[in-house]
């Protein structure tokens, strides 16, 4: 199962809104097939695994065990049901980490395997599987994207100078890692003042991968048209109170600018099949997510050698559980998990 999860994560960032899935076929302690779901719309892990078995080994399939981290699907989507393929191939045993909460599967995949006389074992490395697919499980179960808060702070706990001038807090290694993270999430968001003062691109230009949807707040549509967020480099949502229109890659999304704003945004994101969002600041936006208890994990860089004495204080998380702490260049990266999260961090796992 560890090998399944390792294979699954090779699809990180590319399978959304689908989960990351790996499959391994074992005969007498020997791996005879492996596969993963590479990207959304492509063949599923179980099919790739069965197709990878060498011609000379195919007769072993009915005596083999398939390990797969998610319940095989039971419905025809872009591809046919994997549970039927496993039944046709008469695989002897299927070992599963997590049942699929997706309502078109949810137990039906296992029922097809049972009916075909295949022995089914569930719950193997369940916590690890939940962690790997936390975005997918959160989206399907809680009907909202998984929410990651990310910020950088000085050693004395500030996110920015008081005058909101742009200050590069972290080192190059942390910046590169942040760009890698952008490729792994479906959307990225900043507050109005960050968009205005920092003029960010919010692109993943330091790491090759998928570009997330960019989102910013602009209540009265006062961001200058020269702002980088209006460039053509990515689809962008401008949340505002004025109108709902689309102009090229720029989507003007009307939301109420009151205590329901974040809830309204999450509904819009759910409807657009956005399974995760990384919120990159500023402090006011982070604090509004924290106040609504709308966050799942926080990734905090601390620049150990930078003190500015005064500024915008970094947010304070409520009921946060420690994940890990590690050095990234000269900075320290801390992972914190919301204690109410259904997807606790499992020691030793990747982000």
Ligand X SMILES: NC(=O)c1ccc[n+]([C@@H]2O[C@H](COP(=O)([O-])OP(=O)(O)OC[C@H]3O[C@@H](n4cnc5c(N)ncnc54)[C@H](OP(=O)(O)O)[C@@H]3O)[C@@H](O)[C@H]2O)c1
Is residue 46 flagged as an active site residue?
yes
Does 239 participate in binding ligand X (rule CB under 6 A)? no
User: CB-wise, 94 or 169, nearer to ligand X?
Assistant: 169
Q: What is the 3-state secondary structure (H, E, C) of 45-73?
A: HHHHHHHCCCHHHHHHHHHCEEEEEECCC
Residues 40 and 89: their CA atoms lie apart, in Å, by 24
Residues 222 and 218: their CA atoms lie apart, in Å, by 7
Does 284 participate in binding ligand X (rule CB under 6 A)? yes
- Using the contact rule CB under 6 A, the part of the chain among 38-46, 189-197, 204-212, 227-235 near ligand X is 189-197
CB-count exposure of residue 79 (10 Å: 0-12, 13-18, 19+) = middle
Residues 25 and 4: their CA atoms lie apart, in Å, by 10
Q: Tell me the closest approach of the beta carbon of residue 215 to ligand X, in angstroms.
A: 12
Does 64 participate in binding ligand X (rule CB under 6 A)? no
Does 328 participate in binding ligand X (rule CB under 6 A)? no
- Tell me the residue nearest to ligand X as measured from the CB: 282
User: CB-wise, 31 or 267, nearer to ligand X?
Assistant: 267
Cβ neighbours around 225 below 10 Å, total: 7
86-116: burial string, b at 16+ Cβ within 10 Å, e else: bbebebeebbbbbbbbbeebeebbbebbeeb
Q: Tell me the closest approach of the beta carbon of residue 282 to ligand X, in angstroms.
A: 2
User: CB-wise, 122 or 260, nearer to ligand X?
Assistant: 260
The catalytically annotated residue of 6, 34, 46, 350 is 46
Does 336 participate in binding ligand X (rule CB under 6 A)? no
Does 300 participate in binding ligand X (rule CB under 6 A)? no
Does 250 participate in binding ligand X (rule CB under 6 A)? no
Does 191 participate in binding ligand X (rule CB under 6 A)? yes
Q: Strands 65-70 and 93-98, how do they pair?
A: parallel
Does 320 participate in binding ligand X (rule CB under 6 A)? no
Number of residues that bind ligand X (CB under 6 A): 27
User: CB-wise, 186 or 217, nearer to ligand X?
Assistant: 217
User: CB-wise, 131 or 295, nearer to ligand X?
Assistant: 295
State which of positions 194-233 bind ligand X (CB under 6 A).
Answer: 194, 197-198, 217, 219
Does 257 participate in binding ligand X (rule CB under 6 A)? yes
Taking the alpha carbons at both ends of the chain, their separation in whole angstroms is 18
Among 166, 205, 319, 327, binds ligand X (CB under 6 A): 166
Which contacts qualify for 261-268: CB closer than 8 Å, 24 or more apart? 261/288, 262/288, 262/289, 262/292, 262/294, 263/292, 263/294, 265/215, 265/239, 266/144, 266/145, 266/294, 267/144, 268/237
Q: Match 């005879």 to its residue by tokens.
A: 32
Segment holding 131, helix H or strand E: helix 126-132
CB-count exposure of residue 208 (10 Å: 0-12, 13-18, 19+) = exposed
Can you state the angle between helices 261-271 and 283-291, rounded to 10 degrees? 90
In a 13 Å sphere around the CA of 18, the CA atoms on its Cβ side amount to 26
Q: Tell me the closest approach of the beta carbon of residue 258 to ligand X, in angstroms.
A: 8
Does 331 participate in binding ligand X (rule CB under 6 A)? no
Does 169 participate in binding ligand X (rule CB under 6 A)? yes
Does 308 participate in binding ligand X (rule CB under 6 A)? no
User: CB-wise, 92 or 263, nearer to ligand X?
Assistant: 263
Among 110, 132, 312, 335, binds ligand X (CB under 6 A): 312
State which of positions 260-279 bind ligand X (CB under 6 A).
Answer: 261-262
Q: Nearest CA to 314 among 339, 294, 284?
A: 284
User: CB-wise, 234 or 261, nearer to ligand X?
Assistant: 261
Does 132 participate in binding ligand X (rule CB under 6 A)? no
Residues 108 and 199: their CA atoms lie apart, in Å, by 49
Footprint of ligand X on this chain (CB under 6 A)? 151-152, 159-160, 164, 166, 169, 190-194, 197-198, 217, 219, 257, 261-262, 280-285, 288, 312
Query: Looking at the annotation, which residues are catalytic?
Result: 46
């Amino acid at each position: 199962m560890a090998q399944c999860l390792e294979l699954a994560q090779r699809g990180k960032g590319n399978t959304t809104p689908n989960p990351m899935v790996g499959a391994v076929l074992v005969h007498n302690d020997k791996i005879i097939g492996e596969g993963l779901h590479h990207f959304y719309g492509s063949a599923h892990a179980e099919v790739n695994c069965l197709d990878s078995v060498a011609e000379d080994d195919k007769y072993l399939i009915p005596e083999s065990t398939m390990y797969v981290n998610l319940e095989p699907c039971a419905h025809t989507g872009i591809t046919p049901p994997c549970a039927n393929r496993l039944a046709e191939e008469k695989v002897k045993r299927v070992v599963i980490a997590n049942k699929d909460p997706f309502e078109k599967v949810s137990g039906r995949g296992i029922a097809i395997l049972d009916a075909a006389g295949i022995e089914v074992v569930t719950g193997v490395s369940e916590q690890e599987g939940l962690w790997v697919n936390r975005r997918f499980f959160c989206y399907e179960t809680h009907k909202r994207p998984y929410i990651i808060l990310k910020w950088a702070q000085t050693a004395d706990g500030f996110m920015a100078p008081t005058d909101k001038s742009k200050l590069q807090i972290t080192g190059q290694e942390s910046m590169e890692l942040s760009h890698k993270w952008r490729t792994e999430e479906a959307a990225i968001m900043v507050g109005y003042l960050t968009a205005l003062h920092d003029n960010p691109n919010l692109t993943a230009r330091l790491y090759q991968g998928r570009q997330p949807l960019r989102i910013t707040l602009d209540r009265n549509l006062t961001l200058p048209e020269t702002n980088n967020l209006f460039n053509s480099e990515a689809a962008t949502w401008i949340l505002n109170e004025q109108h709902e229109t689309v102009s090229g890659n720029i989507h003007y999304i009307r939301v109420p600018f009151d205590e329901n704003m974040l809830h309204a945004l999450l509904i819009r994101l759910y409807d657009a099949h956005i399974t995760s969002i990384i919120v990159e600041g500023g402090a006011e936006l982070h604090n509004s997510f924290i106040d609504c208890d709308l966050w799942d994990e926080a990734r905090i860089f601390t620049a150990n050698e930078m003190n500015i004495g005064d500024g915008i204080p970094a947010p304070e998380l409520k009921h946060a559980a420690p994940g890990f702490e590690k050095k990234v260049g000269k900075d320290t990266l801390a992972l914190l998990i919301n204690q109410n999260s259904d997807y606790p961090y499992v020691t030793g796992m990747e982000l």
